[in-house]
Amino acid sequence: MELGFHLPIFDIDGGTGAIAGELARVGAAAEEVGATWLSFMDHYFQIAPTGLPAESNMLEGYTTLGYLAAHTSRVELGLLVTGVTYRHPGLLAKIVTTLDVLSGGRAVLGLGAAWFDREHHGLGVPFPPLAERFERLEEALRICAQMWDPADNGPFDGKYYHLAETLCSPQPIHRPKVLIGGSGEKKTLRLVAQYGDACNLFATAPEDVAHKLDVLRRHCAAADRDYNTIRITVLANNPRPTPDTRDEFVRAMADYAKLGVHTVIVTPTTGAPAAWIEGMGPAVRQLAELG
């Protein structure tokens, strides 16, 4: 089992002027400890689950990943996850391609249906009903796949998106893996089976994840997809681990490793995330021993 880090908080010790330097240290720390994943949220306002008000610091996700691309050399980079409503899919494919080229082939496209209505309304971003957002998500997945097919620069004519050309030059160094976030059994996990290279679930309890994976297997069977080609990732926030509870966290992850979970992602929520990551570092070796 591998370890990844996800940073949801930008209220950094030292204030706004200290953010850039701390994020550079985060990238160095993540690679020094052997993490395989580094991500940020795709939000414009801070979200309530962090325990912070909406007015707290929040950086634009892909600009931040571009900065981290220059301060890392090995770790995969992505958003957990991109909101489909925030960027036109053709532009999104170009943004992720740019990240992939500038990072040397380390970009991952995390994508989901979006949910935070306040930031949509606050910044004037259309927020269609949930059913439409899922339809847009599926079209976005198809558009990105076409944009990353160098043999197909033709049009895309969907219900919501219409592209006269899907020209994307340069192509990514490595076609970005597609991680679809969410655990909805009827729609989200079906999209994982049809279009995803990875899924991301909440590590609420081993039995909950086992059930979701069984649902995913059924969707894979219906789509004639090999379940074993999908990378299983979980976000571990129940309870949220800390360096002080690291050993307890690793023991808890053993049950998820038995389910075939490949990567567990944890979230530093302090004002000094680089030091937090360093404190979690020994968990990389401990998790690897779980299989």
203 — pLDDT class (breaks 50, 70, 90): very high
CATH of 2-289, one of 3.40.50.300, 3.20.20.30, 3.40.50.1820, 1.20.1260.10: 3.20.20.30
Q: Tell me, what's the pLDDT at 238?
A: 83
With a cut of 90, say whether residue 291 has pLDDT above it.
Answer: no
Task: Of 181, 204, 207, give the one whose Cα is nearest residue 192.
Answer: 181
Q: What is the mean pLDDT of residues 20-36?
A: 98
Where exactly are the structural domains of the chain? 2-289
| pLDDT, tens only, 207-229 | 999 999 999 999 999 999 999 99
Burial of 54 (0-12, 13-18, 19+ CB in 10 A): middle
With a cut of 90, say whether residue 250 has pLDDT above it.
Answer: yes
Q: pTM of the prediction?
A: 0.96
- Over the chain, what is the mean pLDDT? 97
Q: What is the mean pLDDT of residues 129-137?
A: 98
Q: What is the mean pLDDT of residues 34-63?
A: 97
